[in-house]
């Protein structure tokens, strides 16, 4: 992918028709996790980020449910939320027969009522929201005492980069948590199915 293509992809992704993109969404190595090595790399990371004890996990912006599936395989009870009905339909199909439910709704204000979770998992969503700080506060309030936020984000493109830098996200999360851990992911090609040069990272915040 050229720098120009990366910039165009990043700049337009927040406004894409995700229903139209759903059928081909899993073609990206880090979306579909079809390569066993890529899948194993994400599974190892989730084991590090998620609680050892099985619990209730909320996957916001879940897409086709690939990370939801990995979490379910590790014993967690999953609720996924996505704005795209087509994505939700694929996620339901992917996790059929597992302890998982998928809802159509806004990641910033998920339609989960009074339900509380042990983990809120969000990948490549926060940077698209108009008020990331407000979303983070709401997500923190969806956690049970001792719960955690697992946030996978980055900055994409070089000519007109978009995203949320790690230092900004860490500054937003720190007042909400007792412990914040930043893990750099740019040099882990197996996670992405290719070498990447942009900023990619995860923040794990324990409340």
pLDDT per position in the chain (207 positions), as tens?
333 333 334 444 556 787 878 778 878 888 988 999 999 999 999 999 999 999 999 999 999 999 999 999 999 999 999 999 999 999 999 999 999 999 999 999 999 998 999 999 999 999 989 999 999 999 999 999 999 999 999 998 777 788 999 999 999 999 999 999 999 999 999 999 999 989 999 999 998
Residue pair 59/67 in contact (Cβ under 8 Å)? The answer is yes
pLDDT at 78: 97
pLDDT at 37: 95
Residue pair 94/33 in contact (Cβ under 8 Å)? The answer is no
**Residue in the structure block whose two tokens are 């509380």:** 116
Q: Find the helix or strand (DSSP H, E) in which 101 lies.
A: strand 100-104
What distance in Å separates the CA atoms of residue 180 and residue 177, rounded to the nearest whole number? Answer: 7
Residue pair 203/181 in contact (Cβ under 8 Å)? The answer is yes
pLDDT at 1: 37
pLDDT at 9: 41
pLDDT at 87: 93
pLDDT at 10: 41
């Amino acid at each position: 992918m050229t720098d120009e293509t990366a910039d165009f992809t990043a700049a337009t992704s927040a406004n894409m028709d995700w229903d139209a993109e759903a059928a081909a969404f899993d073609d990206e190595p880090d979306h579909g996790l079809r390569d066993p090595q890529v899948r194993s790399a994400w599974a190892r990371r989730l084991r590090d980020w998620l609680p050892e004890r099985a619990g209730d996990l909320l996957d916001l912006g879940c897409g086709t449910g690939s990370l939801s599936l990995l979490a379910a395989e590790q014993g967690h009870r999953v609720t996924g939320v996505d704005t795209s009905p087509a994505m939700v339909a694929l996620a339901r199909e992917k996790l059929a027969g597992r302890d998982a439910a998928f809802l159509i709704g806004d990641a910033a204000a998920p339609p989960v009522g009074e339900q509380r979770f042990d983990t809120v998992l969000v990948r490549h969503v926060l940077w698209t929201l108009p008020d990331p700080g407000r979303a983070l506060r709401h997500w923190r309030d969806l956690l049970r005492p001792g719960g955690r936020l697992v946030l996978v984000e980055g900055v994409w493109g070089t000519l007109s980069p978009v995203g949320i830098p790690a230092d900004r996200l860490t500054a937003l999360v720190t007042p909400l948590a007792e412990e914040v851990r930043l893990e750099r992911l740019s040099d882990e090609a197996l996670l992405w199915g290719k070498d990447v040069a942009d900023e990619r990272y995860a923040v794990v915040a324990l409340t």
